[in-house]
A and B are shown apart, each in its own frame.
Chain A
Amino acid sequence: MMRLRAWLVRFAGLRPAARRERELADEIESHLQLHIDDNLRAGMRPEQARRDAILKLGGVEPTKEAYRDRSTIPFLENLLRDTRFAIRQLRKNPGFTSTAVLVLGLGICASVAIFAFVDATLIKPLPYRDPARLVGLFETVQLCPQCPLSYPDYLDWKRLNKVFTAADAFQTDGLTLRTGKGAEMVGGAQVTAGFFKTLGVAPLLGRDFLTGEDSPAAPRTVLLSYSAWQKRYAGNAAVLGQTVTLNGDPHTIIGVLPQDFHFAVTGPAEFWTALHTNTNSCLQQRGCHSLSGIARLRDGVSIRTADANIKLIAGELEKQYPSNRGQGGSVMALTEIVIGRIRPILIVLLCGAGLLLLIASVNVTSLVLVRAESRRREMAVRSALGGSRARLVSQFVTEGVVLVAAAAAFGLVAARWLMQLLISLIGADQMAGMPFLVGLGLNFRVFAFAGAVSAASAALVSIAPAWRSFLPDLREGLAEGSRGSAGTTWRRFGANLVVLELATAVVLLVGAGLLGKSFYRLLHVDMGMQPDHLATLRIAEPDSIRDNNPKVVALAREVMNRIAGLPGVESVAISSLLPVRGGNTMWIRVIGHPFHGEHNEVGYRQVSSGYFTTLRARLLHGRYFTEADDASKPPVVIIDRALAEKYFPGEDPVGKRIAYPGASSPPMEVVGIVDDIKEGALDETTWPTMYVAFNQDPDDHFSLVARTSKAEQALLPTLAAAIHGIDPGISTYEQRTMNDRINNTPAAYLRRCSAWLVGGFAVLALLLGAAGLYGVIAYSVSQRTREIGVRIALGAQRSSVYRLILTEAGWLIVAGIIIGLVCSVAAATLIRGLLFGVRSWDVPTLAAVAAVLGASALLASFIPARRAASVDPVDALRAE
């Protein structure tokens, strides 16, 4: 208790107190006076009396020193003094300080911002109860390892499995919402009744679906997402029990989902309805696959065990039902489904940011070392005056820590800004698939990470000069003009740092180059069409004509006529689905070929007669559809080159017929072959695809594509307005240009983001590396001024001085490039999965990087070389 009080008083004593100091002096003086008075009385002479008093005291200064140590806490006192001194030192050198803080701050900013993404994506758990026990269920076929389930298969899996405590199914489907202003397309998901219980999510308001609420006869009910509740009902609690019309059917609102709930697989669905099998004929067929499955693992069951069990069940079903032929099953962790795709990119980016921080720290270290070098005399003097090694080292450490603290503060502010910038660059579409990023921000984990990287770079920045100060005997620093051995030691150390920096810059540049080239290759794959000047949007018909084929065809025709009349539109067409997004498939058989019930799965599109000409696809053989190919004519089909090669090897398909096995519909005659169009992902090989005439086989939801001679972006709002002019009940959504669609496919988007970010890191790394090299060479030149002066005085040519300096730099550059290239080939193997159309040892990229880095590095060393060559020998020698 008393000791604590004493500590508190001493802690308070840290405040610089002139008054205390004066009082102490007064007290000692009064002590001496009293003693001197006594001594005088005892008969001493005045000088002797004073001398004796001081002697008995044990010296005035030592007494004061002991008193001061007692009055504060010496360690903290020193720390404060060091900190104050460090701040003064740093303020005295604004150039050095701002450079160091800027460079380090950028490094910290990049790594903290990227870490925040890593945290939001990979570290922060999904907002469900025990999310690690949740899995996704898929059926597998040869072409598609993670395909949707059919409802009857889902029921059998749920009934027969021995590994799940619960299994549920869901599907995502846009819903038409009837509002006061007409129809609107909204995000919707249909789930089985146990879905939210399986996730472990309870509604914020109202109730969850009850068991059996998904039966065909049950009354229609709906749960609102939090954002829908806020946006459409202003967060009013009285919303429960209200009715909302979705797809033409009234639904009762029974609950509101929590604010932090998100489910990336469905995208941002606003309305969550129960899955009623009678709303959709697909749900009644074992061969129609439209559902995703989730399940919760039993305690102690691993994903591998669950996967084996599901494969066993799928095998049983395969024997039992002909439609299940070739259908396997697979179980995958839900987290893997949600973030599996983005994980490698985040790791690459985090590594890139980490390398950048390393370069920044190394650069600042080398700056600090150069400064420490110029302060050798100061250190030597302080050491000679009795400064212990520990005190000198603690001075360096304090300066390093102060520097890094300033950089960290700057870095955190910049990171916050960078995060907002990156989020705004992501775009609404991508955000919909990554709802977990909404929680992005500076939370305590991000702060902890920032603290850790700052501590690491503080260690590097402060320990190197501290360690350096131990190398030679400090007293050497006092000797006039001594710079021989010490200068060389530092030069060697600094040179090693620069090689490390250059090598790291090479790795980042090569990474950026390879990713950029992949992105370029990806955008330049042959898409089988001309994507420029195409405006697209998707259309859902009014509820009134749902499933009424003649009316759908008439409406589609009306829409196309209306759009074709718009100014600037050259041609217009519709398709059930647009390119580069994958989608519907069908099983086919070729009439006249042997068939044993195998599943010949091909892509399937319903397109209008002008579709191929609008896309500017290439007709290989036969003809396109015409408006005459309608329901009154025998069905016709156009196939792509991949389908022709796979199912008609060595024969001319035109005139042959294909059919849907098991279906009653008549066979279709192949009338044309079109060159492959990229219907699926850009980085995958094209699936065989068949195109049928929309007029013969229409779809309720379809997409419109218009070619314009003007800017396609400007056409988009006009398109939607024209369509609503036909019937306000039609909903339009996803208004994009074709190029936007291509750019925003996951394959292109992920590579574009990583190429840009790694590219940004690489440019910074290049700048920092060149600056580091400049620093080392400039320092070397300044140390060798006398030597160069002597050389010139002895008749050396300026050119030979250039050669001398540039050779020194050249070795560092070559070493950096070679080490960097070796490391980048290794690093590129790690990002193989992100590369497309380039190998990890792509020679042009490696050569270009070596050339760029070599040129910038030579430029950086040319400046000090010029300074060396212009040394005036007289000045150089006189300066010593």
Chain B
Amino acid sequence: MHDKADVWQGTLALMVLKTIETMGSLHGYGIARRIEQTSGNLLSLNYGTLYPALLKLEQEGSIASEWGVSENNRKAKFYKLTRRGRQQLAKEARDWRQATAILARFLSPSGDAA
């Protein structure tokens, strides 16, 4: 189960969770656009990869989905965070911050890697 795509999906999952937390309830297309915008369009996301990631989060119980109507009156499936999802987001965000902080120390010009 742990192949290269999983690593990408790991960060993707975090982005998805954070996006849903910020936006409240949101549909798949909205999440995809929001991620692109948040990344300052630096990230080119293949929208299709989002759906297996959403399914995985739903299977794990981090998010829940229901059908609703979008702002422009289109039928769409909306995702929202569950309690478990909030916990997972908090934990993963902490882990990620820690990881980037460590990496930042290595990469900062004044840092002593030895």
Does B associate with A?
Answer: yes
Contact with B along A14-40 (1 / 0, CB 8 A): 000000000110111011011101100
Picked from B51, B59, B84, the residue with its CB within 8 Å of the CB of A27 is B51
Using known A-B contacts A31-B29, A34-B27, determine if residue A56 contacts B47 with beta carbons closer than 8 Å: yes
Chain A contacts for B59, CB-based, 8 A: 5-6, 9-10, 70
Select from chain A the residue with minimum beta-carbon distance to B45. Answer: A56
- How many residue pairs link A and B with beta carbons under 8 A? The number is 74
Asked whether A70 lies within 8 Å of B56 as measured between CB atoms, the reply is yes
Query: Does B101 lie at the interface of the complex (its beta carbon under 8 Å from any beta carbon of A)?
Result: no
When chains A and B are docked, how far (Å) is the Cα of A691 from the Cα of B64? Answer: 101
Asked whether A56 lies within 8 Å of B46 as measured between CB atoms, the reply is yes
- A557-613 contacts to B, CB under 8 A, are none
**B57 CB to closest chain A CB, in angstroms?**
9
Picked from A34, A57, A66, the residue with its CB within 8 Å of the CB of B52 is A66
Chain B CB count within 10 A is highest, among A56, A59, A69, for A56
When chains A and B are docked, how far (Å) is the Cα of A23 from the Cα of B49? Answer: 17
**B13 CB to closest chain A CB, in angstroms?**
11
Asked whether A2 lies within 8 Å of B60 as measured between CB atoms, the reply is yes
**A841 CB to closest chain B CB, in angstroms?**
63
Query: Does A43 lie at the interface of the complex (its beta carbon under 8 Å from any beta carbon of B)?
Result: no
Asked whether A31 lies within 8 Å of B47 as measured between CB atoms, the reply is yes
Chain A contacts for B37, CB-based, 8 A: none
When chains A and B are docked, how far (Å) is the Cα of A56 from the Cα of B44? Answer: 9
Chain A contacts for B30, CB-based, 8 A: 34
When chains A and B are docked, how far (Å) is the Cα of A59 from the Cα of B52? Answer: 14
Chain A contacts for B74, CB-based, 8 A: 30, 33-34, 37
Using known A-B contacts A10-B59, A30-B77, A31-B29, determine if residue A58 contacts B72 with beta carbons closer than 8 Å: no
**B99 CB to closest chain A CB, in angstroms?**
20
Asked whether A27 lies within 8 Å of B60 as measured between CB atoms, the reply is no
When chains A and B are docked, how far (Å) is the Cα of A26 from the Cα of B74? Answer: 11
Main secondary structure of the interface of B (DSSP, over half): helix
When chains A and B are docked, how far (Å) is the Cα of A26 from the Cα of B28? Answer: 12
**A636 CB to closest chain B CB, in angstroms?**
97
Query: Does A484 lie at the interface of the complex (its beta carbon under 8 Å from any beta carbon of B)?
Result: no
Picked from A9, A27, A59, A69, the residue with its CB within 8 Å of the CB of B77 is A27
- B59-91 contacts to A, CB under 8 A, are 59-62, 70, 72, 74-77, 84, 88
Using known A-B contacts A30-B75, A30-B76, A34-B70, determine if residue A5 contacts B61 with beta carbons closer than 8 Å: yes
Query: Does B55 lie at the interface of the complex (its beta carbon under 8 Å from any beta carbon of A)?
Result: yes
Query: Does A67 lie at the interface of the complex (its beta carbon under 8 Å from any beta carbon of B)?
Result: yes
When chains A and B are docked, how far (Å) is the Cα of A10 from the Cα of B55? Answer: 10
When chains A and B are docked, how far (Å) is the Cα of A3 from the Cα of B47? Answer: 24
When chains A and B are docked, how far (Å) is the Cα of A62 from the Cα of B46? Answer: 12
**A733 CB to closest chain B CB, in angstroms?**
74
Chain B contacts for A23, CB-based, 8 A: 77
Query: Does B48 lie at the interface of the complex (its beta carbon under 8 Å from any beta carbon of A)?
Result: yes
Chain B contacts for A685, CB-based, 8 A: none
Chain A contacts for B27, CB-based, 8 A: 30-31, 34
Asked whether A62 lies within 8 Å of B48 as measured between CB atoms, the reply is yes
**B72 CB to closest chain A CB, in angstroms?**
6
**B27 CB to closest chain A CB, in angstroms?**
7
**B62 CB to closest chain A CB, in angstroms?**
8
Using known A-B contacts A5-B60, A31-B29, A58-B46, determine if residue A67 contacts B51 with beta carbons closer than 8 Å: yes
Query: Does A227 lie at the interface of the complex (its beta carbon under 8 Å from any beta carbon of B)?
Result: no
When chains A and B are docked, how far (Å) is the Cα of A9 from the Cα of B84? Answer: 16
When chains A and B are docked, how far (Å) is the Cα of A34 from the Cα of B31? Answer: 12
When chains A and B are docked, how far (Å) is the Cα of A27 from the Cα of B77? Answer: 6
**B82 CB to closest chain A CB, in angstroms?**
11
When chains A and B are docked, how far (Å) is the Cα of A56 from the Cα of B32? Answer: 10
Select from chain B the residue with minimum beta-carbon distance to A33. Answer: B74
Query: Does A302 lie at the interface of the complex (its beta carbon under 8 Å from any beta carbon of B)?
Result: no
Query: Does A71 lie at the interface of the complex (its beta carbon under 8 Å from any beta carbon of B)?
Result: yes
Chain B contacts for A63, CB-based, 8 A: 48, 51
When chains A and B are docked, how far (Å) is the Cα of A38 from the Cα of B49? Answer: 20
Select from chain B the residue with minimum beta-carbon distance to A10. Answer: B59
Asked whether A66 lies within 8 Å of B56 as measured between CB atoms, the reply is no
Chain A contacts for B49, CB-based, 8 A: 58, 66
Chain B contacts for A3, CB-based, 8 A: 60
Asked whether B52 lies within 8 Å of A6 as measured between CB atoms, the reply is no
Select from chain A the residue with minimum beta-carbon distance to B28. Answer: A31
When chains A and B are docked, how far (Å) is the Cα of A69 from the Cα of B49? Answer: 12
Chain A contacts for B76, CB-based, 8 A: 27, 30-31, 34
Picked from A2, A33, A67, A69, the residue with its CB within 8 Å of the CB of B61 is A2
When chains A and B are docked, how far (Å) is the Cα of A71 from the Cα of B46? Answer: 19
Select from chain B the residue with minimum beta-carbon distance to A41. Answer: B72
Asked whether B47 lies within 8 Å of A66 as measured between CB atoms, the reply is no
Asked whether B60 lies within 8 Å of A67 as measured between CB atoms, the reply is no
When chains A and B are docked, how far (Å) is the Cα of A176 from the Cα of B99? Answer: 94
Asked whether A35 lies within 8 Å of B75 as measured between CB atoms, the reply is no
**A300 CB to closest chain B CB, in angstroms?**
55
Asked whether A6 lies within 8 Å of B47 as measured between CB atoms, the reply is no
Chain A contacts for B60, CB-based, 8 A: 2-3, 5-6
Chain A contacts for B48, CB-based, 8 A: 57-59, 62-63, 66
Chain B contacts for A56, CB-based, 8 A: 46-47
When chains A and B are docked, how far (Å) is the Cα of A28 from the Cα of B50? Answer: 11
**B11 CB to closest chain A CB, in angstroms?**
17
Chain B contacts for A26, CB-based, 8 A: 75, 77
Chain A CB count within 10 A is highest, among B47, B48, B49, for B48
When chains A and B are docked, how far (Å) is the Cα of A3 from the Cα of B56? Answer: 9
When chains A and B are docked, how far (Å) is the Cα of A793 from the Cα of B19? Answer: 81
Chain A contacts for B70, CB-based, 8 A: 30, 34
Asked whether A71 lies within 8 Å of B75 as measured between CB atoms, the reply is no
Asked whether A34 lies within 8 Å of B46 as measured between CB atoms, the reply is no
Using known A-B contacts A2-B60, A6-B60, A31-B29, determine if residue A70 contacts B77 with beta carbons closer than 8 Å: no
**B59 CB to closest chain A CB, in angstroms?**
4
Select from chain B the residue with minimum beta-carbon distance to A13. Answer: B59
Chain B contacts for A35, CB-based, 8 A: 29, 47
Chain A CB count within 10 A is highest, among B55, B60, B74, for B55
When chains A and B are docked, how far (Å) is the Cα of A24 from the Cα of B60? Answer: 18
Select from chain B the residue with minimum beta-carbon distance to A66. Answer: B52
Known: A5-B59, A31-B76. 5 other contacts (CB 8 A): A26-B75, A30-B27, A30-B75, A31-B29, A67-B55
**A–B Cβ pairs within 8 angstroms, 29 of them:** A2-B60, A2-B84, A9-B59, A27-B76, A27-B77, A30-B27, A30-B29, A31-B28, A31-B76, A33-B74, A34-B30, A34-B70, A34-B72, A34-B76, A35-B47, A37-B72, A37-B74, A56-B47, A57-B46, A57-B48, A58-B47, A58-B49, A62-B48, A63-B48, A66-B48, A66-B49, A66-B51, A69-B52, A70-B55
